Structure 1
C-alpha cells in the first residue's frame, strides 16, 4: 500500500486557558481574523483564505469532571493537520492507516465550521495528526460573515458518524443522546 500524500501543512489547534484573551492576542497582535466560533469554547482564525489556519479550544473550567475528546487539562497542541487532495485520498489513507496498525482517533467526518472533511490519527508519541480536505475558502470579496455554531453534533460532524472508520468519541455520543 502507498503512503499518504500530503500537499502542505494545514492548520493547528491549541488548547488555551482563556479563549477571549487568546483571541485578543491573535487578532490584535498577530492580525488574524475570526472565521467562526463554536459556542464560547472554540474559535477559528485565519491569516489567509483557508477558513482557519489556527483554532483555539478553551480548556474546561473544571477539567477533572469533563471526559472531553481528547482530554486536555493544560495549554498546548490538540492537533496539527495536513491538506490532502480529496475525499478519495482520505478514504485511501484510512485504509492505509488501518493496514499499518496506526490508531485512528476520529473520522472520516465533516466539521461544521470550515466544512472540511477530517481524519485524525496518532503518531508514535501520541500526538494527534489530522489530514483534511475541502475546507471553506474565504476571500475578500466572498462576503463571508463569522457565525457562532452551537456545540453539538452538527459542529463536530455534519455526517453524524456515518463515515467514521472507528467508533465515535464517547463524549460526543453521550452529548448526541442527551439531545433527543
Structure 2
C-alpha cells in the first residue's frame, strides 16, 4: 500500500484476570480517568486527549491483548480499507458499520498477520479534554504500542503491505540481527513498533507526558509508590524519546515517555542502531542497563487470544 489511510493510534484494549487491581492501577496510580464502566469492562481516557478512551480493560480468566484500534481519515477510507484487506486475503471479523463503543463512529475489525485483533474507525465523537498543566504528572495522550513477534520481519511486512505503515528506524543486535522495528503512520517517529520475541505478545503500551518535568514527576511518583520499575529513567536514541517502564498488576509493561521525535516524511531516511552501543538504549546513561532480565519482562506472557475475537 503506497498511501496509508491510518492517521493515528486510538486505543489499546487488554483483558486481565485481576480486573480490580488493573482498574485501580490505571485510575489510582497511572493517572488515567475512568469514563465508563460496565460489568467487567472499564474505559480509561487521558485528560489531554480528544479520544473517547485510550485504554479499555476487560475482566477475563486469561490475560490477552483484546485489540489495537487505529483512526482512519473518513468513512469512505474505512470502506476502501476493508475492500483492500479482503482483496489481500485478510480475514475480517466484522464488516464496516456503526460502532457501539463510547463515541460511536464507523469502523470494522480484522486479524493481523499474527492473529491479533485490529480495529479501524472514523467519525468517532471527540471527547471534551483540557490542557495538562505544568507539573501535572498524568498522561496527555496515548503515544505508541510495541508488539512482540517471533518473526518481526514478517509482521512488519504485513503492516507495511496492508495498512501502509512506514519504517522509521531499526535496532540491530550483533547476534540476532533486527531486534526492533519502529513504524509510523504519520510524522510521529513511531505509533507502533515490533520487537523480536520467542512468542507473540504485548511488549508495552506507552503514554505521552506534557514535558520532561511532568515525565520525571510521574516516574518519581510511581517509584515512591513502589510500583515495580523495569527500566529507566532514560532517553532512547531511536525516536529520541524519554522512557520509564513499569510493570502493572497483571504483568504487562507500561511506559511514560515524552518528546518523541516528529520527523519530515519527505527527507527522513531510516537508520540502523547497534544495540551493542549503550547510547542506543539510553543516551543519558541514567537508566539501569538493558539486560536479559529487562528483556524477559518485555517478553510478557504468550498471548492466548490469537485469532479469537474478544466478546465485546
Query: Residue 133 of structure 1 is aligned with which of 247, 258, 265?
Result: 258
Corresponding position of 1:149: 273
Matched, 1:31 2:156: no
Matched, 1:115 2:219: no
User: Computing the radius of gyration over CA atoms, which structure comes out larger, 1 or 2?
Assistant: 2
Alpha-carbon distance in structure 2 between the residues aligned to 1:140 and 1:19 = 23
Higher strand fraction (1 or 2): 2
* 8 Å CA contact retained: 2:240, 2:260: yes
Matched, 1:43 2:204: no
Q: What is the Cα-based RMSD across aligned positions, in Å?
A: 1.9
Unmatched 5+ stretches in structure 2: 1-28, 32-136, 173-177, 295-312
Corresponding position of 1:62: none
Once the two structures are TM-superposed, the CA of residue 146 in structure 1 deviates from its matched residue by 0.5
Alpha-carbon distance in structure 2 between the residues aligned to 1:79 and 1:17 = 16
Corresponding position of 1:67: none
SS of corresponding position for 1:121: strand
- Ranked by relative contact order (alpha carbons within 8 Å, sequence separation 6 or more), the top structure is 1
SS of corresponding position for 1:27: helix
Measured against aligned partners, the alpha-carbon deviations of 1:42-99 in whole angstroms (never above 9, x if no partner) come to 100001111001111112xxxxxxxxxxxxx311111001000111111111221122
Q: TM-score, normalised by structure 2?
A: 0.47
Alpha-carbon distance in structure 1 between the residues aligned to 2:154 and 2:290 = 29
Corresponding position of 2:309: none
Alpha-carbon distance in structure 2 between the residues aligned to 1:38 and 1:135 = 16
Once the two structures are TM-superposed, the CA of residue 170 in structure 1 deviates from its matched residue by 4.0
Deviates more, 1:98-107 or 1:80-89: 98-107
Q: TM-score, normalised by structure 1?
A: 0.79
SS of corresponding position for 1:38: strand
SS of corresponding position for 1:114: coil
Runs of 4+ in 1 over 2 A off after TM superposition: 167-173
Alpha-carbon spacing, 1:44–1:76, altered in 2? closer, same or farther (3 Å): same
SS of corresponding position for 2:157: helix
Query: Residue 93 of structure 1 is aligned with which of 214, 218, 233?
Result: 218
Task: Give the count of matched residue pairs.
Answer: 154
Alpha-carbon distance in structure 2 between the residues aligned to 1:172 and 1:43 = 21
Once the two structures are TM-superposed, the CA of residue 140 in structure 1 deviates from its matched residue by 2.9
Once the two structures are TM-superposed, the CA of residue 147 in structure 1 deviates from its matched residue by 0.8
